Amino acid sequence: MFEDLAIYRIKINYLEDWKVYFLSDVQRLRGDVAFAPMKDDGREWRIVLSWRPLENVRKKYSSVEAQAKETIKQLAKGKQVKSFEIIDHKVSQVNGHETIFYNLIVKYYKRGGLLKQNIADCIIRFLLLHCPESDRCMILYEESDYPIEQERIFEDVIKSFDCHSPAR
């Protein structure tokens, strides 16, 4: 079962047995909220929704696709990133907006103990959109350090996502 979260006219569903936490000071034009299982069993899996002022994003990027490509380029430059592979990439529509979806597998260096580093896999899936109705750029992403058996959960969260629900 899913629960609903609504904040600043953004609506999204998350699993009812997950915790919700804020990663930053949340404001109408800027915020980060995360959803993660209550029990992590030593594994990491979370879904994060971030939003920023669209005006600032449009000054830097000519399109959603250009921003998505730059996001991947910045990811690849990460100190801990060894390599990555694009599994899937598609253009779709969410709330009437063009969206870009990427599914990646990232190999990264993970501390294994005292001075030891292991190479681990991280699955990252993200959806990026520009919403002129709310003047926000939004990124919805999922990251996990293990293959996710229930890929449909992220897909259900995307289907529930409303970036500019009507004001009451």
pTM of the model: 0.88
Domain annotation covers residue 21 = no
Higher model confidence: residue 43 or residue 92? 92
Domain annotation covers residue 60 = yes
Across 104-120, average pLDDT: 81
Nearest residue to 146 via CA among 33, 45, 58, 25? 45
Q: Which two tokens stand for residue 134?
A: 């709310």
pLDDT at 122 over 90: no
Across 96-102, average pLDDT: 94
pLDDT value of residue 148: 63
Across 75-88, average pLDDT: 90
Confidence of residue 167 (pLDDT cuts 50, 70, 90): low
Q: pLDDT tens digits for 143-156? A: 887 666 666 788 89
pLDDT value of residue 110: 81
pLDDT at 68 over 90: yes
Which range of residues forms the domain containing residue 150?
52-160
Domain annotation covers residue 75 = yes
Average pLDDT, rounded, for the chain: 89
Domain annotation covers residue 128 = yes
Are 111 and 119 spatial neighbours (Cβ–Cβ below 8 Å)? no
Domain annotation covers residue 152 = yes
Nearest residue to 46 via CA among 38, 55, 34, 58? 34
For residue 41, the cross-strand partners are none
Confidence of residue 35 (pLDDT cuts 50, 70, 90): very high
pLDDT value of residue 149: 60
Domain annotation covers residue 40 = no
Domain annotation covers residue 79 = yes
Domain annotation covers residue 166 = no
Alpha-carbon distance values, 138 to 67, 109, 120, 147, 152 (Å): 11, 28, 28, 25, 20
pLDDT at 166 over 80: no
The contacts of residue 114 (CB under 8 Å, 6+ apart) are none
Across 86-106, average pLDDT: 93
Return the C-alpha torsion angle 93, 96, 98, 102, nearest 10.
Answer: -40
Confidence of residue 162 (pLDDT cuts 50, 70, 90): very high
Number of domain units in the chain = 1
